[in-house]
Chain A
Amino acid sequence: MLEIRNLHARIAGTETEIIRGLNLTVKAGEVAAIMGPNGSGKSTLSYILAGRSDYEVTEGEILYNGESILEMDPAERASKGIFLAFQYPMEIPGVATLEFLKVAMNAQRKARGEEEMKISDFIRTVKEAAASLEIDFNMLKRPLNVGFSGGEKKRAEILQMKLLQPKLCILDETDSGLDIDALKIVADGVNSLRSPDRAVLVITHYQRLLDHIVPDTVHVLYKGQVIKSGDKSLALHLEENGYADVIEEAA
């Protein structure tokens, strides 16, 4: 589903290279965890996949279902099924959450050549999804993420993911700022989306989230490269021993 080949990228307008020859393949149905120390390029990778213009790809290729996405803007990528759950979701005053959800869902439907949703269907769908994530429906009448607690913001991201039904879900440190109860709710939300035609990329610092969203593969990112790949036991190894020996081994 996702194939990243020899990717090099830097912050736009600078010489600072952050991704330095990254290779990664994620198959449909797979849950892949990306781990790595601070500054290894994890969040940058997620932004590049979503199409943020602050980064510039200088070399390499990103193929999504065999098609290069490098020339697509973020909206095109999203309508093709790529979804990034943000580490720090934006607060946008003046845009009601429900209005935003309606516009986003209908924009994606339109891009796929489908009819707009009926309001009654829309409300019912949102209510059901919100209830499963223990989100108070009234919260969705408020401006997008404004005044939401850290946990509420993360749950709202998963709500968007459930509603938009993407094919490639990228979770950027979704566990940060969550207490254990919220973590379980979020993990259940993600697990409910696991399916043979969908892939999930979980970016995290800690093993903790991976107890709840059990990965098929684990990749260690360091200095902008994947330096080691393995199964879920690799995450447990990192939790116990830290990154030092893996980094040393790769050097």
Chain B
Amino acid sequence: MNIHAGRMQTAAETALTELYVAKMGALPGNPDVAAARDLAVDALKTLGLPTRRIESWHYTDLRLLLRAIPAGSEGQSELVKALVKGASVLTLEEGNATGGNAGAGVTVTRIAAKLEDGSFAKALVARGTDDAIGQINTALVSDGYHLDIADGTEATSPIEVQFAADQDSHTRLAIKAGKGAKATIIERHTGGDAFVSAVTHLTVDDGAEITLIVDQERGPSAVHLGQLNAWVGKDAKLIVFVMNSGGKLVRQEVHVAVKGEGSDFKLRGINLVGGDAHIDVTMTLTHEVPNTTSTEVIRNVVTGRGHGVFQGQIKVFPGAQKTDAKMACNTLLLSDEGEFSTKPELEIFADDVQCGHGATVREVEPQHLFYLMARGIPEAVARGLLVKAFVAEIIEELEDEALVEALEERLQDWLEANA
């Protein structure tokens, strides 16, 4: 049955289908993969891009916001210097893996190869009927990396995967962190005004400690659709740190299933929303077993006519006793025309748990401003210090000082250009 039959396709929807038709001959994949792609394209055709009527897309009406597929910037994307000196770097340019290394104990396989031999077909299943990002990515994915981090590996320097794109780019990253492995992985999204989908699957095995940084710093007209799917094992620790400082239309989904007892998940998010950008971070988190903890802290700075969104949904499964989950979303609104929408959602099916959430939207604290000015710091400088401090507090939680410094520099650049 197709209840949407006869619905007018938007220009972007038509362009998406055309993009698929134009590319399909060159896209890698065995028949299973090709079947998954067709399924995704059919779903996109029948359902269309999600609108505000789809609950998980309520604040990001993709049908309305994605007017056209960005044409991309002139020329070829350029690789940039690694965020942290000494990092192992793997590169992707315009959606194609172009090499690098991930350090000792990490086996790297190209996703293109896994699409060709069909071993990646089962990873191309949609999350549900509202999974537009998964569908777009499945239809168009060309390449990416599969990182297999061996049990007990302790990476001494971060692994940076650079996703450089000036044209359209649809990639996958699959990370399997073995038992007791420790690593920091940086997803670095750079380049100009590309149309991008980037989907990551991350499995954190028992006792592993993984930090994943998603640093999105694309051009001011870029469309970036990101999705992380993570599974956390017993006594494991996962920190997901999302920093959005670029893009025109950005949605980063973070879907985490906490599946092993004694584990801890942290989400830290920074959204710097300026100009007429629309930046959405949407999290779903399931605490599925007893004795697990999570904290989510999102800090946003909104200027100009920017619109920021955070949706955080925490589900505590029946029997997942002693779950401790705390979520906070704080926004500094620096302009009259800026906007931030936040929706926390708790669904708790166990009785012995601690869950809480809070959200604030405010301007710079006048008393703090007065205190700094009373020491001779001019108003503009004092405001800058306070805005930076509001965000830097989250960055400084990271243990790697070089990483803290690099992200603060990124923050400073954004503030100088926007605030």
* Chain A residues near B (Cβ < 8 Å): 50-53, 73-75, 77-79, 83-84, 86, 89-90, 92-95, 100, 103-104, 107-108, 111, 143, 160, 164
Contact = CB atoms under 8 A, between A and B. Distances in A.
B376 A75 contact: yes
B371 A89 contact: yes
A95 B385 contact: yes
Given A53-B370, A94-B393, A78 B376 contact: yes
B381 A107 contact: yes
Nearest to B391: A94
Report which residue of B368, B376, B385, B391 has the largest number of chain A beta carbons within 10 angstroms of its beta carbon. Answer: B376
B379 interface: yes
Given A75-B382, A103-B385, A92 B371 contact: yes
Nearest to B378: A75
B373 A75 contact: yes
Nearest to B299: A94
Contact of B378 (A52, A93, A100, A107): A107
Given A94-B393, A95-B389, A73 B379 contact: yes
B152 to A, nearest CB: 35
Interface of B is mostly: helix
B370 A93 contact: no
B201 interface: no
Contacts, number: 76
21 contacts: A52-B370, A73-B379, A75-B374, A75-B382, A78-B374, A79-B376, A83-B374, A89-B371, A90-B368, A94-B392, A94-B396, A95-B372, A100-B385, A103-B385, A104-B377, A107-B375, A107-B376, A107-B377, A111-B376, A143-B389, A164-B375
A104 B393 contact: no
Contacts of A75: 373-374, 376-379, 382
Interface residues of B, number: 24
Lowest 5 A-B CB distances belong to which pairs? A94-B389, A78-B376, A74-B373, A104-B375, A94-B393
B360 interface: no
A78 B375 CA distance: 6
Contact of A78 (B373, B388, B389, B396): B373
A53 B370 CA distance: 8
Contacts of A83: 374-375
Contacts of B379: 73, 75
Contacts of A108: 375-376
Given A94-B389, A103-B385, A84 B376 contact: no
Contacts of A100: 372, 375, 385
A78 B389 CA distance: 22
Contact of A84 (B367, B374, B392): B374
